[in-house]
Chains A and B, each alone.
Chain A
Amino acid sequence: MELNVQDVTVHRGHREVLSDVSFSAGPGELVGLLGPNGAGKSTLLGAIAGMLSPTSGQVTVDGLVAHRAPRQEIARRLALMEQQADRNIPLTALEIVELGSLPHHRTFARGDHARRSAEARAALDSVGAGAFADRAWQSLSGGERQRVSVARALAQRPGILLLDEPTNHLDVTAQLDTLDLVSRLGVTVVAALHDLNHAARWCTRVIVLSDGTVAADGPPAEVLTPRTLSEVYGVSATVLTHPSDGRPVIAFDGSID
Chain B
Amino acid sequence: MEVRPIRAHAAVPVALAVLLALSIVVAVTIGVAGLTVGQVWDVVASHLGLGAGSAPSTTTDAIVWGIRLPRVLTAALVGAGLATAGVVMQGITRNPLADPYLLGLSSGASLGAVSVLLLGIGSAVAITVALPVAAFVGALVALVAALGIARLAGAITPTTAVLAGLAMSQLFAAATSLVIVIAAKGDSYREVLSWLLGSLAGSSWSTVAVAAIALVAIYPVLRLYAPRLDAFALGESAAEALGIPARRTYIVLFVLVAALTGAMVSTSGAIGFVGLVLPHVVRALTGGLHRRVLPAAALGGAIFLVWADTLARTVLDPREIPVGVVTALIGVPVFVLVLWRSGRSTWS
Cα distance A82–B226 when bound, in Å? 22
Q: Given A96-B234, A136-B4, A138-B3, do A75 and B242 touch, yes or no (CB 8 Å)?
A: yes
- Convert A90-106 into 0s and 1s, putting 1 for each residue whose CB lies closer than 8 angstroms to a CB of B: 11100110011011001
Interfacial chain A residues near B234, Cβ < 8 Å: 84, 87, 89, 96, 99
B235 within 8 A of partner (CB): yes
Contact of A92 among B5, B227, B228, B347 (CB under 8 A): B5
Cα distance A182–B186 when bound, in Å? 73
Q: How many residues of A sit at the interface, in one of the four size bands?
A: 20 to 34
Which one of B59-67, B284-292, B311-319 is at the A interface? B284-292
Contact of A102 among B5, B244, B287, B347 (CB under 8 A): B244
Contact of A75 among B235, B243, B288, B345 (CB under 8 A): B243
Contact of B283 among A74, A79, A90, A138 (CB under 8 A): A90
B120 within 8 A of partner (CB): no
Q: Is the CB of A99 within 8 A of B242?
A: yes
Which residues of B (188-244) have their CB < 8 Å from a CB of A? 224, 226-228, 230-231, 233-235, 237-238, 240-244
A71 within 8 A of partner (CB): yes
A76 within 8 A of partner (CB): yes
Q: Is the CB of A103 within 8 A of B345?
A: no
The residue among A88, A90, A96 with the most chain B CB atoms within 10 A of its own CB is A90
Interfacial chain B residues near A138, Cβ < 8 Å: 2-3, 345-346
Cα distance A49–B227 when bound, in Å? 21
A72 within 8 A of partner (CB): yes
- Convert A19-61 into 0s and 1s, putting 1 for each residue whose CB lies closer than 8 angstroms to a CB of B: 0000000000000000000000000001001010000000000
A80 within 8 A of partner (CB): yes
Cα distance A138–B289 when bound, in Å? 15
Q: Is the CB of A95 within 8 A of B4?
A: no
Q: Is the CB of A51 within 8 A of B237?
A: yes
B333 within 8 A of partner (CB): no
Contact of A71 among B3, B4, B224, B240 (CB under 8 A): B240
Q: Is the CB of A107 within 8 A of B227?
A: yes
Q: Given A90-B287, A156-B242, do A102 and B227 touch, yes or no (CB 8 Å)?
A: yes
Residue in B closest to A74 when the chains form the complex, CB atoms:
B243
- Convert A165-181 into 0s and 1s, putting 1 for each residue whose CB lies closer than 8 angstroms to a CB of B: 00000000000000000
Cα distance A169–B122 when bound, in Å? 62
Shortest distance from the beta carbon of A37 to any chain B beta carbon, whole Å: 18
Q: Given A51-B240, A80-B238, do A71 and B230 touch, yes or no (CB 8 Å)?
A: no
Cα distance A100–B228 when bound, in Å? 11
The residue among B233, B244, B347 with the most chain A CB atoms within 10 A of its own CB is B233
Q: Given A75-B243, A84-B234, A99-B231, do A91 and B345 touch, yes or no (CB 8 Å)?
A: no
Interfacial chain A residues near B51, Cβ < 8 Å: none
Which residues of B (220-276) have their CB < 8 Å from a CB of A? 224, 226-228, 230-231, 233-235, 237-238, 240-245
A252 within 8 A of partner (CB): no
Cα distance A73–B243 when bound, in Å? 7
Q: Is the CB of A90 within 8 A of B3?
A: yes
Residue in A closest to B248 when the chains form the complex, CB atoms:
A71
Q: Given A102-B242, A138-B3, do A90 and B227 touch, yes or no (CB 8 Å)?
A: no
Interfacial chain A residues near B5, Cβ < 8 Å: 92
Q: Given A91-B233, A91-B287, A138-B3, do A106 and B243 touch, yes or no (CB 8 Å)?
A: yes
Residue in A closest to B344 when the chains form the complex, CB atoms:
A88
Interfacial chain B residues near A79, Cβ < 8 Å: 241
Q: Is the CB of B233 within 8 A of A90?
A: yes
Interfacial chain B residues near A100, Cβ < 8 Å: 242
Q: Is the CB of B227 within 8 A of A108?
A: yes
Contact of B288 among A70, A71, A90 (CB under 8 A): A90
Shortest distance from the beta carbon of B92 to any chain A beta carbon, whole Å: 14
Shortest distance from the beta carbon of B115 to any chain A beta carbon, whole Å: 41
Interfacial chain A residues near B291, Cβ < 8 Å: 108
The residue among B3, B237, B346 with the most chain A CB atoms within 10 A of its own CB is B3
Q: Is the CB of B347 within 8 A of A91?
A: no
B348 within 8 A of partner (CB): yes
- Convert A101-141 into 0s and 1s, putting 1 for each residue whose CB lies closer than 8 angstroms to a CB of B: 01100111000000000000000000000000000101100
Shortest distance from the beta carbon of A83 to any chain B beta carbon, whole Å: 10
The residue among A49, A75, A96, A138 with the most chain B CB atoms within 10 A of its own CB is A138
Contact of A103 among B233, B238, B242, B283 (CB under 8 A): B242
The residue among A82, A89, A106, A139 with the most chain B CB atoms within 10 A of its own CB is A89
Cα distance A46–B228 when bound, in Å? 20
Cα distance A113–B48 when bound, in Å? 39
Contact of B244 among A49, A71, A139 (CB under 8 A): A71
Interfacial chain A residues near B243, Cβ < 8 Å: 70-76, 102-103, 106
Q: Is the CB of A80 within 8 A of B237?
A: yes
Cα distance A96–B235 when bound, in Å? 12
Cα distance A84–B239 when bound, in Å? 12
Residue in A closest to B5 when the chains form the complex, CB atoms:
A92
Shortest distance from the beta carbon of A168 to any chain B beta carbon, whole Å: 15
Question: A-side interface residues toward B, CB under 8 Å?
Answer: 46, 49, 51, 70-76, 78-80, 82, 84, 87-92, 95-96, 99-100, 102-103, 106-108, 136, 138-139, 156
A–B pairs, 11, beta carbons within 8 Å? A49-B240, A71-B245, A80-B237, A89-B234, A90-B287, A91-B3, A92-B287, A99-B230, A99-B231, A102-B242, A107-B224
- Besides A76-B243, A103-B242, A136-B4, 9 new A-B residue pairs in contact (Cβ under 8 A), listed by A number: A80-B237, A88-B348, A89-B233, A91-B287, A92-B3, A102-B227, A102-B244, A106-B243, A139-B2
